[in-house]
Amino acid sequence: MAKKLFVGVDIGGTNIKSALVENGKIKKKRKLPTKANLGPEKVIAQIKSAIKPFITKVSGIGIGIAGIIDSQKGIVRFSPNFSEWHNIKLVKALKKEFNKPVRIINDVNAICLGEWQYGAAKGYKNVFLFTLGTGVGGAAICEGQPLFGANGFSGEFGHSVIKFNGPKCSCGNYGCLERYVGAKYIVANAKRKMRKKSTSLKHYKKLT
């Protein structure tokens, strides 16, 4: 039986990562800095660029992105990392470009499924995954069944409000957990405090 190749893409707020995958193992990969502030068209162009080097022999494309994802219709309803992304028909755009089957899912759910099928959680019936990166999220497998919620958003506790009069989050709400412990906010807060006080760091602007 011939082995099938797939392209996996992680669309993050900081980087877009793509990989050529065979039987759950990464054969090749690449990474591009995300131009999140330039709008959907520019980011979609980046996604296409990340996929192109691997597309020749693949059977399909899998996409993971943070936010509320309509997997059945292939639409990104909302993504906290991309303020202008509302009802973006990403699957349609990629199918038109590459003429390959494309599936899309919330990124944390995708990670959880990957670990459950191929990684550290393989063989377990009950799994909880916690992620801390640009944002904060979680996903679960319960009694051998993915527990992702009706809209694949059940694990997005990073947007649970922990302080009602807290700072504004990228999702538009105020006082979200992610606003305090998400990577981009930790870096921004560190830079802000170092501007106000003396520090031994000479190049704090390069903090990432």
**Number of Cβ within a 10 Å radius of residue 125:** 11
Count of all residues that appear for the chain in the document: 208
What average pLDDT does this structure show over 150-176? 83
| pLDDT at residue 207 greater than cutoff 60 | no
DSSP 8-state symbol, 134: S
- pLDDT band for position 19 (50/70/90)? very high
What number does CATH give the domain 5-109? 3.30.420.40
Mean pLDDT of the chain: 88
- pLDDT band for position 33 (50/70/90)? very high
pLDDT at 4: 87
Is the whole-model pTM more than 0.75?
yes
Gap between the Cα atoms of 90 and 13, Å rounded? 16
Q: What is the pLDDT of residues 129-142, one digit of tens each?
A: 998 877 888 899 99
pLDDT at 152: 63
pLDDT at 153: 66
Classified as helix, coil or strand, 55 is coil
pLDDT at 112: 94
| pLDDT at residue 54 greater than cutoff 90 | yes
- pLDDT band for position 147 (50/70/90)? confident
What number does CATH give the domain 123-195? 3.30.420.40
Q: What is the pLDDT of residues 56-70, one digit of tens each?
A: 889 999 999 988 899
Picking from 53, 17, 52, 51, the residue whose alpha carbon sits closest to that of residue 34 is 17
| pLDDT at residue 189 greater than cutoff 70 | yes
Question: Which residues make up the CATH 3.30.420.40 domain(s) of the chain?
Answer: 5-109, 123-195
DSSP 8-state symbol, 169: P
Picking from 65, 84, 38, 46, the residue whose alpha carbon sits closest to that of residue 156 is 65
